[in-house]
Every structure is written in C-alpha cells, then in structure tokens.
Amino acid sequence: MPGYRDLFDASITDPEAFWADAATAVTWTRAPQRILDDSRPPFYRWFPDAELNTCANALDRHVDAGRGEQAALIYDSAVTDTQRTYTYRELTDHTARFAGALRDLGVGQGDRVIIYMPMIPEAVIAMLACARLGAVHSVVFGGFAPHELAVRIDDVQPAVIVSASCGIEPTRIVEYKPMLDAAIGMSEHPPRHCVVVQRDTHRCELIEGRDLDWSDAMAAASPVDPVPVAATDPLYVLYTSGTTGKPKGIVRDNGGHAVALLWSMKHIYDIAPGDVFWAASDVGWVVGHSYIVYAPLLLGATTVLYEGKPVGTPDPGAFWRVISEHGVKALFTAPTAIRAIRKEDPEGKHVGEYDLSTLKYLYLAGERLDPDTYHWAAEKLGVPVIDHWWQTETGWPIAANPMGTEQFPIKAGSPTVPMPGFDVHILREDGSGCAPEQEGAICIRLPLPPGTLPTLWHADARYEQSYLSEYPGYYLTGDGGHFDTDGYLFVMGRIDDVINVAGHRLSTGAIEEVLATHPAVAECAVIGVPDEIKGQAPRGLVVVKAGASTDGLAAELIQLVRDEIGAVAAFRLVDVVPALPKTRSGKILRKTMRGLATGRDEPVPSTIEDPTVLEKLGPILRP
C-alpha cells in the first residue's frame, strides 16, 4: 500500500485522479464521469454529474451485501441504564419507516428538517431518514436555548422538527418540549409539524394538529425506498459559531461527503467493516455527524451511541466500561473528557478494572491536546493517542497521524501532518509564506477536498467573505500555528473571536450581544480564558452605565446568557471593570486582553487610546 507521502503528493498534483479512485468505494446510482467542477472559482463542486443516496450507502447496501444481522448501532445509555443494539436490517427498517412518516407529513427532496434531540437512537434514525428522502437535516445541539433554536429555524426554514420530551443530564431532566415551543413561538418560519419521541423518564404535552407522537407516526407509516439525489445536493446544514452572533450554516453535500468519510475511516482511523468504532461526542456537533453516524455506517462498521458523560455517570470508569462491554476498537473524544476523567481518577485506577484489550487507538480532537493530557492518556491506556485537527467546516480531519496509512512518531502538541487534499500553508499577514517554526494563519489552498463545505446555507457572499477573501486562493481556517522543521503541524489556537469550551465551539461575539441587552451594561467584551478542565471558559468584562447598580449584576448576566444561548455556554465569570482598553478608533483590544489572561506578553498596539486602562486591568486578568 502506498505510504503517506505518495498519497499526499498524488492528492495535490492530481486531485481528480486521487478522488476518482476514492469514489469507487461508494455505491452510486449514477457513477461520476466528471470529478471536479472548477468552472466557478472560488466555488468548487465535487462529482458534479453523479447521483447516489447517502442512506442507501449507510444502510441498505450492507444488508444487500449480507451484513443485515451485524450490529450497526449500539445504544448505551448510562443515564437510563439501558442498552439496545440495532442490526443493519433493523436500523434500515426503522429508518425506511420513519422516512415514510416524514413523507406523510409532506417532507420531500430538498425540504429541511430540524432535529433537536438528546443522544437517543431516534436522533440517528431521523438523520438517516432525511438522507433517504433527499431532505436536508439540520441537527441543533440540545444544550442550546430557545433563542438559538429560533435563529436556526428562521435560517433553515424547516417543514418539520423532530424532537423528544426530554434529555437527561446527570443532575437534571432537560425538558425539550417547552424550549421547542418557545423557539417556535419566537420564529417567523414555524414548521408545519413536530414529531416528538416520548421518553419514559418524562412525557410532555403535544399540541393537537401540530405535534405527533413518534410511535404513532411510525405505526401509521409505510417504509420508503431511498431517493437518488445529485452528489452536489445538500445532505445537511450544521450551524456553527462564527465571530458574530449569527451562526454559520455549514452545508455538506452528499457525494463528496460519502467519498471523504469512507476514505478517512480506512486510511486515517484504520477501521474495517465489522469493527466497533465509538465517537463519544453528540449528534449535535460535527464529530457526531461524521463519526457517530455517517462514517462508521457508510463503512459497515458498528457505531456506539453513548448517552452519558465521561465522569459522574456513574464514575470516571464509564468510558472504559463501554469499551470493554462493546469491544470498541477506537475511541474518539475531546481532550476535555480525558481531563475530566484524570481529575477524578488521577492514578487511572478505573482503567485497570476493565478489559480494554480490544482498544487499539484513542483519537482526540475538538480543541488543542495539551501535552500533559496526551502523556497521561498514553501512559494509562497503552495505545497510540492520536491528536487530529479539524473543524465543522471541513467535516473530516485536516491534519492527523494516519494510522491506516503510516504511523508517524508522535510529537505531543502536534496533530502531525496534513491529510490528502488539504494543501496547508502558514501565511503571514501580507500573504507570504512563513518559514518552518514561524507562526502564522493556517490556510488551505483551494480547492478544498471532497467532504468539506461547498458554501454556507443560502449565503454564498458570507462564505466568500468569511473564509476566502483575506487570502485569495486560500481557505482561512481561523486557527494560528506553524510547521516544524520535520513538517509536523502545530495548531496553537484561534486567531479570531471563536472559543472552545469543553470541545464546544462558541462565539464570544454572541455572548457579548446578549450581555449588551442588559439595561445596566454600557459596553462589554468577552474573551476566552484558560480553564483546567474545559480548556477555555468565557469571561465577561462589563462596564456599567453611569449610576447603574452592580448589586447582583453578575448573577443576572450569567442567567441571561444561560437563558439566551444555553447552559452549554458555561458562562460563569463576569467582572465589572471601570473601562475597556481600546484603539483610538474605538476597537476593543480583545487580543491584548486574551494575552494578559493567558499570561502571554501580547504587544500593546501603538494605536491604544489610553494605556492606563490596560494597566488597571492587568491585576484582574492575569492568571
């Protein structure tokens, strides 16, 4: 088998030949004759004349190939103490029937369906059912508050929303239905119908005429066959935080997505059909889309859907129990989960209580993997711990240590090397390339490979402006970093106002917009500060209006962010400060404050309006 260098070089010098070869792993209803449509740069389309159905590739074809009785999905709920296994045949039957239920509600090809659900099998079934119909799903993470859901409803304009009566967090029941109703009440484009899974833990009221009980809808429906769609048709829209309060609707196509994910499972993750793969994430995030749902199923592997936490459900041995009970070959999670486990079980005693002999790899992504966490995991688990770097936008890893191709010596702190198709460059502000060891903006030369975003939902101009305008011919990742002299990439952190809290991507701008609505707040800034477990935490700095009281203000602001954005923002740090440092043109010096808060010596811009403001902030911000 060719090594990494051969594959990477081939993908850059002749991308069409490279991806045409990879595309043979997909079952097409119309095989691609053309591989890349580059007639409208900077917009590129992969497999422009091909047709397929993603759901048929993820389910039916495995049943047809004799894998019908193999486990497709293992649901393991630590919070309800339930386990359920779906074979490929069963998952296909449920999905075909739910697709029928959606069709009965008028959902057809190209229509949108929002999925606002906890980690239960029905969430996966709903996603696949949309794919089966050629409808476009948009999953909204359950930790978001009604306002965030309403913003997504209005942008994507769903025909139907699929939800559940509740989610179960270790310390509380999260009632989804009141949040769903509130969001629909706020939105200008309400769905015609909602389908609601009634969970035994807590049942909810349904609105007659609008809402259907999942079980009733299933009982009344008949199964439907997969609908072939163009490879370039959207499979889903997944909203992610940008630098402003308005989330970006990342579009994923059908064809490029299937090709790239299949390629990644074999060549990066070293997973074969029949292996058990577990991404301990949430279907509301891109990791959940790609590596809980689509990639393992496209390959014919077995995926684990875990409803629970790394700690507290019931203890820090939860992950090791799941691995041993289900024979997991590779676990994929975020460094924050490992830090949480390590904090409660520093000696790794729980690791020793389980048979982890099936585990071959631990993959970590979602935030920077700090060397301490890397060393702890590598030592306690005794398997390769693979840091890899990617984004909602790319859908699969930009850089990794490709276990299925060639195993590079690991350098702690580096996600190793760029993956085929990702022509990564480190650029200075003037657009010139950085030398090894020199820090700059991490950019990817266009075209991006299959599986990455072709555009933003109904926002081509915003796509160009956000990602492609700063360095013409390149995609701006928003991360800063460098290559070392061995060609290893180091991703050091965001260079914009996006932060990563417990592997969850948040916009400081969105939190600022909420704080600014409080009547006592004159102006505010939110920055990411280091957090021992979550990597980063948002910290708000507010200046109050003259004469406004600060009594109880911090608690009110914390509640406001929780109500407007959601518990997931984990917003708990607020300081009232006399003033915010600004340039003479009035721009708040967030980068300089970030530097202070992380203990880095950020140069103070010469355009600063009043240096004493910064001096006064020093003692408050410094770690």
| Amino acid in the structure at residue 488 | Y
Do the beta carbons of residue 340 and residue 533 sit within 8 Å? Answer: yes
State which residue, 87 or 452, has the beta carbon closest to ligand AMP. 452
CB of 540 to ligand AMP, least distance (A): 21
Residue 195, helix vs strand vs coil: strand
Contacts of ligand AMP in 121-180 (CB under 6 A): none
Q: Among residues 77, 187, 391, 401, which is the contact residue for ligand AMP, using CB under 6 A?
A: 391
> Distance between CA 529 and CA 539 in Å, rounded?
7
CB of 424 to ligand COA, least distance (A): 21
Do the beta carbons of residue 52 and residue 228 sit within 8 Å? Answer: yes
Do the beta carbons of residue 308 and residue 280 sit within 8 Å? Answer: no
> Distance between CA 298 and CA 272 in Å, rounded?
11
The verdict on 388 binding ligand AMP (CB under 6 A) reads yes
Contacts of ligand AMP in 27-56 (CB under 6 A): none
Site string for ligand AMP, 485-504 (x = CB under 6 A): ------x--x-----x----
Q: Among residues 51, 111, 387, 423, which is the contact residue for ligand AMP, using CB under 6 A?
A: 387
Q: How many CB atoms lie within 10 A of CB 591?
A: 15
Do the beta carbons of residue 571 and residue 511 sit within 8 Å? Answer: yes
Do the beta carbons of residue 468 and residue 455 sit within 8 Å? Answer: no
Binding part of the chain for ligand AMP, among 66-74, 194-202, 385-393, 421-429 by CB under 6 A, reads 385-393
Cα–Cα distances (Å) from 95 to 59, 301, 338, in that order, read 9, 17, 34
> Distance between CA 560 and CA 564 in Å, rounded?
6
Q: Among residues 505, 582, 590, 594, which is the contact residue for ligand AMP, using CB under 6 A?
A: 505
State which residue, 240 or 466, has the beta carbon closest to ligand AMP. 240
State which residue, 405 or 414, has the beta carbon closest to ligand AMP. 414
CB of 123 to ligand COA, least distance (A): 11
Do the beta carbons of residue 256 and residue 46 sit within 8 Å? Answer: yes
Q: Which does 143 bind (CB under 5 to 8 A by kind): ligand COA, ligand AMP, none?
A: ligand COA
State which residue, 311 or 334, has the beta carbon closest to ligand AMP. 334
Contacts of ligand AMP in 258-277 (CB under 6 A): none
Q: Which does 392 bind (CB under 5 to 8 A by kind): ligand AMP, ligand COA, none?
A: ligand AMP
Q: Which does 142 bind (CB under 5 to 8 A by kind): ligand AMP, ligand COA, none?
A: ligand COA
Q: Which does 479 bind (CB under 5 to 8 A by kind): ligand AMP, ligand COA, none?
A: ligand AMP
Total residues at interface with ligand AMP (CB under 6 A): 21
Binding part of the chain for ligand AMP, among 105-113, 205-213, 473-481, 508-516 by CB under 6 A, reads 473-481
State which residue, 56 or 286, has the beta carbon closest to ligand COA. 286
Angle at the Cα of 55 (from 52 to 61), degrees rounded to 5? Answer: 80
Q: Which does 10 bind (CB under 5 to 8 A by kind): ligand COA, ligand AMP, none?
A: none
Cα–Cα distances (Å) from 314 to 11, 171, 354, 436, 576, in that order, read 46, 11, 15, 46, 38
State which residue, 57 or 163, has the beta carbon closest to ligand COA. 163
Q: Among residues 196, 286, 441, 544, which is the contact residue for ligand AMP, using CB under 6 A?
A: 286
State which residue, 285 or 320, has the beta carbon closest to ligand COA. 285
Q: Which two tokens stand for residue 338?
A: 């490992």
What is the separation of C-alpha 486 from the centre of its chain, rounded to a whole number of angstroms?
30
- Any residues with CB less than 8 A from the CB of 616 and at least 6 apart, and which? 577, 578, 579
Q: Which residues pair with 383 in a beta bridge?
A: none
Contacts of ligand AMP in 311-370 (CB under 6 A): 365-369
> Distance between CA 556 and CA 538 in Å, rounded?
16
Contacts of ligand AMP in 223-242 (CB under 6 A): 240
> Distance between CA 340 and CA 327 in Å, rounded?
23
Q: Which does 389 bind (CB under 5 to 8 A by kind): ligand AMP, ligand COA, none?
A: ligand AMP
Q: Which does 570 bind (CB under 5 to 8 A by kind): ligand AMP, ligand COA, none?
A: ligand COA
Q: Could you list the residues that contact ligand COA (CB under 6 A)?
A: 118, 142-143, 167, 169, 174, 281-282, 285, 287, 309-311, 334, 336-337, 340, 366, 502-503, 533, 567-568, 570
State which residue, 28 or 294, has the beta carbon closest to ligand COA. 294
Burial class (CB in 10 A: 0-12, 13-18, 19+), 567: middle
Q: Which two tokens stand for residue 607?
A: 């355009």
Provide the b/e sequence for 552-562 (b: ≥16 CB within 10 Å). Answer: ebbeebbebbb
Q: Among residues 76, 253, 479, 512, which is the contact residue for ligand AMP, using CB under 6 A?
A: 479
Q: Which does 163 bind (CB under 5 to 8 A by kind): ligand AMP, ligand COA, none?
A: none
The verdict on 392 binding ligand AMP (CB under 6 A) reads yes
Q: Which does 617 bind (CB under 5 to 8 A by kind): ligand COA, ligand AMP, none?
A: none
> Distance between CA 89 and CA 72 in Å, rounded?
8
Element containing residue 215 per DSSP (H, E)? helix 214-220
CB of 399 to ligand AMP, least distance (A): 8
Q: Which does 491 bind (CB under 5 to 8 A by kind): ligand COA, ligand AMP, none?
A: ligand AMP
Burial class (CB in 10 A: 0-12, 13-18, 19+), 208: exposed
Q: Which does 282 bind (CB under 5 to 8 A by kind): ligand COA, ligand AMP, none?
A: ligand COA
Angle at the Cα of 583 (from 577 to 589), degrees rounded to 5? Answer: 55
Angle at the Cα of 264 (from 258 to 268), degrees rounded to 5? Answer: 175
Do the beta carbons of residue 435 and residue 408 sit within 8 Å? Answer: no
CB of 143 to ligand COA, least distance (A): 3
Q: Which does 336 bind (CB under 5 to 8 A by kind): ligand AMP, ligand COA, none?
A: ligand COA
CB of 214 to ligand COA, least distance (A): 18
Binding site for ligand AMP (CB under 6 A): 240, 286, 365-369, 387-392, 415, 477-479, 491, 494, 500, 505
